[in-house]
Structure 1
C-alpha cells in the first residue's frame, strides 16, 4: 500500500520512548499476576519479561516523530509509515467506533527499541507488538517487521506492516467496547475466547484496510492510494505466518490446536478477509457457534 505523496502528517499520537535499562514491576504497573492474565488475553508471553529491579531509567527523553511531513516520507521511512498509519486508523475509528456504540478515545503508539516500561509492566522487543489496556498504548519495535521475514517466513511488505498496527488498534477497540472485561481467557483452543479476541482484532484490521483509501488528512487529502490485490495477498501472508499452527509447526514440529490462543493461519486470513469485505459490523466473533469460527 502506498501513501499519497501529498498527504500531510498530523504529528499526533506516536511517541518514541527513550531506551530503558531496567524492567518495571511496580510504580503503576499491574504486577506479575496481571501480566500473566495479559499474556493470555493478548497472546504474547510477557511473564518472562517481568523481573527484579525497579522501574527502568531512561537514557534519553521520549520524543515525537521528526522528518515525517508528507506521505512521501512514509513511503521510504518505517517510522513515518507508522505515523501515517496512525492517522488513517484514527480517521476511520473516530467515526466507526461511535457508529458501533463505542465511546471512542484515541490510543497512543509507542515506538521503542530494546525494552520499555508500560502500564502493564516491563517488556522487551522479544514479545513482539502488543497493546496494553492499562495505559491504552500500542507498543511496537519496528524491528519486528524484519522478524516477520526472517523468523516467520512472511513477505512483510508495507501492507502487512500496516496490518500489524491495525490488529493492535483492534485490541484497543475491544478494550473500549468492554470485550476484554467479559471475555473468559482461562481456556485455550480454536473456539476459546482468547482466539475469538485475536481473530476479531484481525477482522477489525481488515475492516479498516477495506476503507483506508477513503481516510484523509486534516485538509481532506486522501492518505492512501487504493489497495491492490497483490498488497492484500501480502497482508494475508502475514496473517497466515503468525497463526498458531504455523508457529507450532515451526517451533515444535507438531500442531496442538487445544493450546491455541491466536487461531490458525487459515482462521486469521478468513477473519481479515471478512472485515475487509464486509466492514467492522461483521466482526462479532463472540456471536458465533464454535463450528462457525
Structure 2
C-alpha cells in the first residue's frame, strides 16, 4: 500500500541493532532450507539467555513524511509500525477486551541478541514472546523475491510485518500460553497459530486505509489496489509449507507442517481482509483450516 505523503511517524518507534559475526543458531550454520522452515515463527526457537539488543533511532532521521516511506524501505517499516500501533490501540480493546501494548521493533543486519537468545538473518522475520518484540533483517525482502518467488513489493513487505504484529496480538490475548506451539501437522496448534496471524494481517490491511495519523489528521495509507493485494497474497502463498517443501526438493509432507499450506495462508489472509474482525480469525474453532 501507498502512504499518504504528508503523514508523520515517530522515528524513535523502531530500533536498529545487530551486525557482524554471523553466529550459528541451533548448534550449526543455517542455510536456505532452515530459513524457510523458520519463516514468520511465533515461537521461542532460539534458546539462550542474552538480553535484547538496543539500537539507535538516529538512523531514521531521513524518515520525515509518508513520501519517505514510499521511497525508502526502512522508512516504510517505521510508518508501518506506527499504522499498526494506531489500528490495534483501538481494535484490540474493542474486540479483544485487552489494552494494547506496543511491541518492540528491531531492524538488524547479520545477527541480533534478543530475549529469546541470539539469532541470525537466516532465521527470517520473527516475534520473540519473552521480550515482546519483532525482529527483521531488511535483506529478507530481497530473498522473498530471489529465493521464494514473490514480488518484493510494498504491501508484501507490510504483510510480513503485520503477520509478526499478529503474533504480538496473540501473545497479548493469551493465545500463545494455552496451546501446544511445538505441534506439527495440518490441524496442529502451531499451524492454527500461524494462520491466525495471517488473518490478523489481512484484518489490518482491510482497515489500514481508514486509520488516521493523529499528527497530520490524514489516513496513513491509501486504499490498496487489486495489484497490491495480489502482491500480499503472493507473499503469503510463497511461504506456505507445501511450497517451501517442494521448492527445497523435498516431498510434500503435511504431517511436518508448522505454518500451513499456500492455499490456507492465502485464504486466512483473505478472511481477515474481507470480514475484518478478530472473531472471524478464530482458527482454533475452525473445522476447516
Question: TM-score when scaled to structure 2?
Answer: 0.88
Deviation at 1:57, TM superposition (A): 11
Q: Which of 161, 164, 171 is the equivalent residue of 2:157?
A: 161
Tell me, in whole angstroms, the C-alpha distance in 1 between the residues paired with 2:118 and 2:39: 16
Tell me, in whole angstroms, the C-alpha distance in 2 between the residues paired with 1:13 and 1:57: 16
Q: CA RMSD in A?
A: 2.4
Deviation at 1:187, TM superposition (A): 2.1
Deviation at 1:193, TM superposition (A): 0.3
Tell me, in whole angstroms, the C-alpha distance in 1 between the residues paired with 2:129 and 2:245: 27
Q: Would the alpha carbon gap of residues 179 and 284 (structure 1) be closer, same or farther in structure 2, given more than 3 Å must change?
A: same
In structure 2, the partner of 1:89 is 84
**Secondary structure of 1:144's partner?**
helix
Residue 68 in structure 1 maps to residue 63 in structure 2: yes
Q: Would the alpha carbon gap of residues 238 and 40 (structure 1) be closer, same or farther in structure 2, given more than 3 Å must change?
A: closer
Alignment check: 8 A CA contact 2:239 2:262 kept: yes
Tell me, in whole angstroms, the C-alpha distance in 2 between the residues paired with 1:15 and 1:43: 20
**Secondary structure of 1:206's partner?**
helix
User: What are the within-5 Å matches in structure 2 for residues 95-174 of structure 1?
Assistant: 95-99=90-94, 100-174=96-170
Alignment check: 8 A CA contact 2:241 2:259 kept: yes
In structure 2, the partner of 1:30 is none
In structure 1, the partner of 2:7 is 7
Alignment check: 8 A CA contact 1:44 1:127 kept: no
Deviation at 1:8, TM superposition (A): 1.1
Structure 2 runs not aligned, ≥5 long: 26-37
Structure 1 runs not aligned, ≥5 long: 26-38
Tell me, in whole angstroms, the C-alpha distance in 2 between the residues paired with 1:258 and 1:18: 35
Deviation at 1:18, TM superposition (A): 4.3
User: What are the within-5 Å matches in structure 2 for residues 168-247 of structure 1?
Assistant: 168-219=164-215, 220-247=217-244
In structure 1, the partner of 2:32 is none
Tell me, in whole angstroms, the C-alpha distance in 1 between the residues paired with 2:106 and 2:39: 22
Per-residue CA deviations over 1:36-92 (Å, capped at 9, x if unaligned) read xxx799367945xx68xx95998xx72112210100100110000000001110111
Tell me, in whole angstroms, the C-alpha distance in 2 between the residues paired with 1:177 and 1:88: 20
Alignment check: 8 A CA contact 2:16 2:107 kept: yes
Q: Would the alpha carbon gap of residues 278 and 119 (structure 1) be closer, same or farther in structure 2, given more than 3 Å must change?
A: same
Number of residue pairs matched by the alignment: 272
Alignment check: 8 A CA contact 1:23 1:55 kept: no
Question: TM-score when scaled to structure 1?
Answer: 0.87
